Amino acid sequence: MPQLRLKLLEPHRTSLEKCVYCPKLSRAACPVSNVEANETVTPWGKMSMAYFAGRGDVPLDALHADPAWACSGCYACRERCDHKNEVATVLTDARAEFFARGLAPEGARRAAERFWAREDAGDGEPDARAAASGAVRVLVGCGYVRHAPDVAEDALDATEALIGAPVRPVRACCGLPLLYAGDRPGFEAAARRLAAEVAEGERFVAVDPGCARAVRVEYARAGVDVKAPELFVDLAVASLDRLQRSTSERRVRYHDPCQLGRGLDRYDAPREILARITGRPPEEFIHRREHADCSGGGGLVPATRPASSAAIADGRIAEHRALGGGLLVTHCAQSLRRFRSRGEPAEDLASLVARAVAPR
């Protein structure tokens, strides 16, 4: 059997072929195809297009490359798939092949350019603690630092209180925007730089689950050795007895972020933390835990398909309000940004923990 001409797809040949010959069982799970109502961007359509491009059945051009970016990396299709096909991973590798050939959509190319422009400008330090000598390195996440600096500060304060020692923000970005853009060499360079920085500290904590999963899972795929980060949510749930009951928290509804839930298998911990702080289990969306619906914030979809991303977020917000509203809480910089930018004053779990945690 001839090798696929897109070499990064060869290890995924079995997954690709399962999708191509599948009756689209994961179709209803995909947030992108649900809002676009387009067969080409169903999980089946995206995998088929990548497979046909890999085999040489369709031209290698921007038109046939584009569907690979119609994925928010939410992993929802995997939960509906009898084969547990890792569609998001396959499409991430397809993006790398297309990007290297100059076939990435404009939104992805601009995201990669902006990443390097920020790096050149030395952007990304959360606060004065960047110069501290704390032995605990904290990867807050660029999404929080740039778009929710209030949460970035809360996350640092809360981590410091939970651990009982000074913390030092990690300066390097995990490189996830480059991975999603398709800039694989750039992602690997960013990964090596972060790995070198955190090797110096005694402990390494990651707050944003997208960053945490990138370091835990994607660095290994890229062949980069790194100290595995502890998760902020794990630190908080291990110190439940130090979280004080809030007298002011309103009715709270929890949104499972894809990266924390399906990405890192953390479903109970955030709910236990919210129950401790508010005195009762959080309200739920109709689809929750393994089958939770995406916020539309991941996979660079806000940059490559902004209208689809906004429509996905609007769907979550409309459901939240139809179910009775309250305070929408999530734990992911991209989801938080999506909700806030679409008019819902959502909060991050890190902020609630920062307000609730008693000092040691």
Q: CB–CB of 346/295 below 8 Å?
A: no
- Total of residues contacting ligand SF4 (CB under 6 A): 27
The residue (of 16 and 273) whose beta carbon lies closer to ligand SF4 is 16
Which residue shows structure tokens 């955030």? Answer: 270
In which element (H, E) is residue 168 found? strand 167-169
The residue (of 84 and 321) whose beta carbon lies closer to ligand SF4 is 84
Q: CB–CB of 299/259 below 8 Å?
A: no
Residue 287 touches ligand SF4, criterion: CB under 6 A: no
Residue 88 touches ligand SF4, criterion: CB under 6 A: yes
What residues between 30 and 69 interact with ligand SF4 by CB under 6 A?
A: 30-32, 43-44, 46-47
Q: CB–CB of 169/129 below 8 Å?
A: yes
Stretch that binds ligand SF4, among 15-23, 157-165, 188-196, 219-227 (CB under 6 A): 15-23
Per the structure block, which two tokens stand in for 193? Answer: 């730089």
Burial class, 280, CB count within 10 angstroms (exposed 0-12 / middle 13-18 / buried 19+): exposed
The residue (of 38 and 246) whose beta carbon lies closer to ligand SF4 is 38
The residue (of 192 and 337) whose beta carbon lies closer to ligand SF4 is 337
The residue within the footprint of ligand SF4, chosen from 13, 24, 242, 289 (CB under 6 A), is 24
DSSP-derived letter for residue 215 is I
Cα–Cα dist 292/80, whole Å = 12
| Closest by Cα among 44, 107, 147 to 301 | 107
Residue 357 touches ligand SF4, criterion: CB under 6 A: no
Strands 327-330 and 347-348, sheet pairing: parallel
CA angle 171, 175, 180 (to 5 degrees): 155
What residues between 190 and 249 interact with ligand SF4 by CB under 6 A?
A: none
Residue 351 touches ligand SF4, criterion: CB under 6 A: no
State which amino acid sits at residue 170: V
The residue within the footprint of ligand SF4, chosen from 29, 138, 235, 277 (CB under 6 A), is 29
Q: How many CB atoms lie within 10 A of CB 98?
A: 25
Binding mask 66-85 for ligand SF4 (x = CB under 6 A): -----xxxxxxx--xx-x-x
Shortest CB 341 distance to ligand SF4, Å? 19
The residue (of 18 and 216) whose beta carbon lies closer to ligand SF4 is 18
Query: Widest CA span of the chain, in angstroms?
Result: 66
CA angle 323, 325, 330 (to 5 degrees): 105
Residue 110 touches ligand SF4, criterion: CB under 6 A: no
The residue (of 17 and 150) whose beta carbon lies closer to ligand SF4 is 17
Q: At what angle do helices 268-278 and 349-356 cross, to 10 degrees?
A: 40
Stretch that binds ligand SF4, among 20-28, 58-66, 210-218, 268-276 (CB under 6 A): 20-28
Cα–Cα dist 194/173, whole Å = 7
The residue within the footprint of ligand SF4, chosen from 18, 101, 114, 146 (CB under 6 A), is 18
Residue 87 touches ligand SF4, criterion: CB under 6 A: yes
Shortest CB 221 distance to ligand SF4, Å? 16
Cα–Cα dist 160/154, whole Å = 10
Shortest CB 244 distance to ligand SF4, Å? 37
The residue (of 72 and 239) whose beta carbon lies closer to ligand SF4 is 72
Count, residues in the chain: 360
The residue (of 9 and 88) whose beta carbon lies closer to ligand SF4 is 88
The binding site for ligand SF4 (CB under 6 A) comprises 18-19, 22, 24-26, 29-32, 43-44, 46-47, 71-77, 80-81, 83, 85, 87-88
